[in-house]
């Protein structure tokens, strides 16, 4: 009896972990596009920037990323809410 209960409990835990894994995979796919815009400035584009201009360049990229997220995140949430 105790062994059967233990095996049932372990089976339930495995099922929950499978569900968490699946939900994590779906969430990662949905957020990949939103997070990808932070990669817009790569090392090739940043080479040749003088040291005194680095902070303004990084700040401009950060502001652009925040602006994109302000637009993309609500749109992605709306699409997820209305189109399952």
Written as six digits, the tokens of 80 are: 């997820």
Contact between 75 and 34 under an 8 Å Cβ cutoff? The reply is no
- Give me the domain span that covers residue 59: 2-82
Kind and range of the H or E run holding 74: helix 54-82
Q: How far apart are CA 12 and CA 22, in angstroms?
A: 15
CA distances from 42 to 3, 30, 37, 38 (A): 56, 23, 11, 10
At which residue do the structure tokens 């089976």 appear? Answer: 11
pLDDT of residue 51: 67
pLDDT given for residue 33 in this prediction = 59
Q: What is the pLDDT along the chain (84 residues), one digit of tens a residue?
A: 678 888 888 888 898 888 888 888 877 776 665 555 555 555 555 666 676 777 787 788 788 888 878 888 888 888 888 876
* pLDDT for the residue numbered 81: 82
Total count of domains within the chain: 1
């Amino acid at each position: 009896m105790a062994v059967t209960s233990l095996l049932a409990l372990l089976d339930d835990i495995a099922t929950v972990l499978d569900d968490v894994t699946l939900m994590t995979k779906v969430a990662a796919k949905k957020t990949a596009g939103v997070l990808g815009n932070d990669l817009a400035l790569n090392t090739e584009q940043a080479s040749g920037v003088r040291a005194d201009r680095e902070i303004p360049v990084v700040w401009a990229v950060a502001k652009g990323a925040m602006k994109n997220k302000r637009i993309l995140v609500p749109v992605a949430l709306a699409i997820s809410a209305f189109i399952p």
